[in-house]
Structure 1
């Protein structure tokens, strides 16, 4: 039997698969999944035309009080920025155009999932 943590992990993997298929159907080339570093975890990394994109995938069930995008607080945003910066530094990609997008997934009404892709959702403060 699965405990709550294992259930969340499996649901997260399923949501990342849904997000990857959705993004690929819209022309994104997925390069990596679940990249861990000192900065944190990046769910998906892909190329949207010539832009390197770090994707945060959020799934919320039908009983959730907040949507996936709204569930990303200040501290999570800072961890994503740090993880993306670390990745860019490690791969010498500082001059490459990049952004952080959010893919919010929820149960759908007319289809199995409702997917919302928010481009440039998280930005570093100037």
Structure 2
């Protein structure tokens, strides 16, 4: 939600963390509406250069879905989808492996990206695109 600064002038947009949290909530609601169940949020791997998985969801068949949520207000540089490069993918895979190492059984897994293009609090809702199997863990050993 936009607020106004103390001079009553232009709206002040929430900071990056608040926007990221709002985008995660929107993506979570979207995925739940499509039948996925939340397992865990914001799973981090330890150490320097570690990664984070925004959402870990489960499909009805038991497949674990590691979800990266990206939100952009403008489509410059390819929009939100283009911002999940190989470095980000590697960090997500690292965090996912850290999560899986704690399980007694490793189910089928998938890496998805949910992109939200547009303002979260604007007059038009953001365009949401769910990219199933956006990348895989091969080659990140």
Q: TM-score normalised to the size of structure 2?
A: 0.77
Kindly indicate whether the alpha-carbon contact (under 8 Å) linking 2:112 and 2:134 is maintained by their aligned counterparts in 1: yes
Q: Unaligned stretches of 5+ in structure 1? A: none
User: What is the CA–CA distance in structure 2 between the aligned matches of 1:17 and 1:77, rounded to whole Å?
Assistant: 21
CA RMSD of aligned residues (A): 2.2
Cα 1:120–1:110 shift into 2, 3 Å = farther
Greater Rg by CA: 2
Once the two structures are superposed, residues 88-126 of structure 1 have per-residue CA deviations (whole angstroms, 9 ceiling, x without a partner) of 1122343x1111100000127994121000011111225
Kindly indicate whether the alpha-carbon contact (under 8 Å) linking 2:37 and 2:58 is maintained by their aligned counterparts in 1: yes
How many residue pairs match? The answer is 121
Q: TM-score normalised to the size of structure 1?
A: 0.85
Residue 97 (str. 1) matches residue 108 (str. 2): yes
* Paired residues for 1:8-47 under 5 Å: 8-38=16-46, 39-47=50-58
Once the two structures are superposed, residues 12-56 of structure 1 have per-residue CA deviations (whole angstroms, 9 ceiling, x without a partner) of 000000000000110011121111222411100111122111100
User: What is the CA–CA distance in structure 2 between the aligned matches of 1:110 and 1:80, rounded to whole Å?
Assistant: 32
Q: Unaligned stretches of 5+ in structure 2? A: 6-13
User: What is the CA–CA distance in structure 2 between the aligned matches of 1:111 and 1:22, rounded to whole Å?
Assistant: 16
Residue 120 (str. 1) matches residue 133 (str. 2): yes
SS of the residue 2:101 aligns to: helix
User: What is the CA–CA distance in structure 2 between the aligned matches of 1:84 and 1:72, rounded to whole Å?
Assistant: 16
SS of the residue 2:15 aligns to: helix
Instruction: Return structure 1 stretches of 4+ with deviation > 4 angstroms.
Output: 108-111
